[in-house]
Structure 1
């Protein structure tokens, strides 16, 4: 009897447990489904909110609805780099805004061939600085963007050069020398303004002679009209007056202690002994020997002839 009661209680307990589990499952099923659906709803909400808050798209803008502004130098240089660099490096007084000269641009027509109409004229700014003889500016200034670079014209060069360099041209004509017979471009061969070294054609008078000393004696365009200063060294004279220099260099007399230019103050000047020495001997002796070199045989060495 007792065992039957225990079996019944056990079966009843098991049934109650199963019923409880079923009830719990029935109650929680909607909640699980809801929780499963919640992330989709939550994820959808921000997108919808963003769409609602986004500004309305702007209407298409007319690309020509802009204000025209002048080009800058850098913008000109993007298409015309050669001209830009020429002005930058050798433009001289032409280093200003492109539009100062080019008031009309991008107007060339290969059909109309209107190049001359749109290109600026030199005379719009410049008069004829070189006179009526030279009216073709581009004959020398071949590149208006680099006006300081002047290759030489193919016309007679001396005539063209003389228009601006009248002084040198006059000296060459007035004082004939081998320089007179040469074309200007023989010396000034590189470009306008090039000043050559004398040593490009001529050797020095002595080893180590400084270049600057050439022009102290020889004016470039009249080289035979020699001048010199009191400080011009005797070695410079030696180049042409070798015998006199050799005698002077070895003499024990006081003449060996003074520079050539002390006596020869001008080129070619032969001074008299009296200009420095006056009358150093008696009147009777000077009367007998009026020429000093009768006794003092060599003015640069001053040996004395003894009877």
Structure 2
């Protein structure tokens, strides 16, 4: 039995009566618009007559064969078929139309893949811009083209994709993926949205058990707690502007580009600079801080933004206020333990007293200075004065606000003040607040372990090793003398407060009366003549 080639069949059609009728339909088809008419004859009827029922195929130079038969019923029910609101005709995709006259122009594609790639480029004639996809694009070595997912003639509707019916298509390539994961990606809008939102990313990164292993053997979890993220300062439903994953993770193409970080810490150091996109002023402050200086010197353990604020579950940093100290505890655990036992720490952590200082009141927030410098030591009394010289704050707890003034008035404070005005970076051994009261473990004055009261002599002997038992008596403490505090000094001060003005006033009175007497006598006596 003789087998006709596609070309010979075309010649046979032209030699018969039906061929003339087909020519008429074809000429009408190429001369009509690409979109089908409503209620009229389809301009692609000629295409359908040939391709609806044929065993013919096309052979590419590569040897691959492509069937010329089209599943017409599936095409009509597709997103582009008769069931669509705006059905398309064949030449809407197969362009230019003149190439598809009979006989068709020879194929230029070398294989079936290049043929599909050429035709897929026509999709952008209607779908422009195309939806954002994380698949490799047409410029890639192995691009994923439109028809790979959407098919050529059985094109599913967007509603079908969103319903999850396209998962089987995905599994043709992603054969190791879990079906729920793919359904999540589709539901998030991989094929229907014009941009990738958080739900798109969380469709994968919300799955449990996702990890990444770095070259040094460390692993990091890639699973993101969606609820924790949305409850954070960067999530939805708060007073701040919500962020998208792509605001921090700029390169979100899939498959993701391999990371260059050798360790988990290196990865954190690569990522934290993303914070500067929104928080530039805070970021600039960190560069001059003790943490930024350490990082610049190669200390990878120096704290960066995410060490204090977190990466995805970023809470409000000072709510509750105790969170501030707990944040610093991550690196400074020993200092935190001392602070927790101090009068300040106990009030904050056990009593939830928000008036007491936390780490940042003394050390700063982003511009944390080096506490070991002479400048920090010289100016540390001013830090204490921020609270202890505050009349409104101290009156709530019946604490004297004279501490700073009395300190500045004594030898220690006067010398420190002089250094602060002349050379604040100069070294001095004169006592500042924390030399007597402690740095982080500041105890209440009535605590038996405090460095004052009964232990004052030992405290003084840290600087004055030859001090004797009566040495502390020379110090009148931070209270202004009164009948309650230092009554003897108070009475002496009171005595001289009265005596000195009284004596001065008495002598002023004597001098004044004497001047008055002399003037009156001189004015009352007539001048005597020389005789």
**TM-score bracket for the superposition, by shorter chain length:** 0.3 to 0.5
Structure with larger RCO (C-alpha < 8 A, sep 6+): 1
TM-score scaled to structure 2, two decimals?
Answer: 0.25
Rg larger in structure = 1
Calculate the TM-score normalised by the size of structure 1. Answer: 0.38
